[in-house]
Structure 1
Amino acid sequence: MANPNKVKGTQWESAIRDYLNAFLGLVDETGTFLDPMSGANIRRAAQEGARDVGDIHAAPFVLEAKNTRAPAVPTWIRQAEVEATHAGFPFGVVVRKVRGSSVAMGRVHVSVRTWTRVRLALGMPTDEFAALYGWSVSLRGLDTSRWYLTTTVADFAHLLADFRRLVPEGVSGRAVR
């Protein structure tokens, strides 16, 4: 019998992948890739051991999926950023499941640094970027390494689509593999 937590994690990763691929129009109504060889497709990554490359590759983002009760967001964000570096992607983010809600209502967490780099690549003022993609700020004490921003998977899907459409490859390390 498989580890039940591993099964839940795999189901969450697959749900995120399937949601983003459908939102971006990369699959048909049966979930089959329109272009199986496209680097734009959202894919679950193979486990890499000590040099883990994250759970989901959604160029230019590496997504670290979390389906747990107890959040440890700042730690998870650091993990996602390390894994993005291992995978050769410029941005690492965390996608946390919200119990009893749809995939679209999952929470996407990013560091202040990543948020700023994405905003600058899009050339948007702070207020516009925050409002357009539904970002909220979590400030945890005076330690700025524990500060982060959060949005929903639905709003992140819009951000991903806009980033791919508006930011030329090579800007901020963007590359569609």
Structure 2
Amino acid sequence: MANPSKQKGTTWESALVAYLREHHNPGARRNAQMGRLDIGDIDGYYLHALEAKAEKTITLASYIAQANKEAVNADQPYGCAIVKRRMKGTADGYVVRDVATDVRLMNRMRDMEDALQGENSALYEALDKQHREAA
């Protein structure tokens, strides 16, 4: 690949896909670019259109605007950017979304947990314990 910046981005996307396949969703994959109807760089990050960024100069506002637009195109409720942290591994990257998106996500999580706790408290307690121990 002749363009070093494009190669850096491809390498970051591939590393994210490998990480997501191991820790989140075995079906995660890179998306083909679709121009103005782009649906994000990676498919398989639950409920999200994911924009992967590995750039020297970080411009969060443009990343979030792009991720939110691509979430609409992908028919996903949330958009986020996963930004490579310089000189660090994949797990040390940053997941970035705007406050409005994060509040919608947290409200959904709260409502779903309340529903599960009310419906099956034993399952809720087991899952809660599992996720707290993983932190």
2-structure distance, mates of 1:25, 1:73 = 26
1:116 alignment partner in structure 2: 103
2-structure distance, mates of 1:101, 1:77 = 22
SS in 2 for 1:74: helix
Q: Does residue 46 in structure 1 map to residue 24 in structure 2? A: no
Report deviation, 1:52.
1.1
Give the structure-2-normalised TM-score: 0.77
Alignment RMSD, CA only?
A: 1.5
* Letter matched to residue 50 of structure 1: R
CA pair 83-25 structure 1, distance change in 2 beyond 3 A: closer
Match of 2:60 among 73, 97, 104: 73
Count of residue pairs the alignment pairs up? 111
Give aligned-pair identity as a percent: 39
Structure index of larger Rg: 2
Mind listing any 5+ residue stretches in structure 2 that lack a counterpart? 112-130
1-structure distance, mates of 2:90, 2:54 = 11
Structure with greater proportional helix content:
2
After TM superposition, the runs of 4+ consecutive aligned structure 1 residues lying more than 4 A away are none
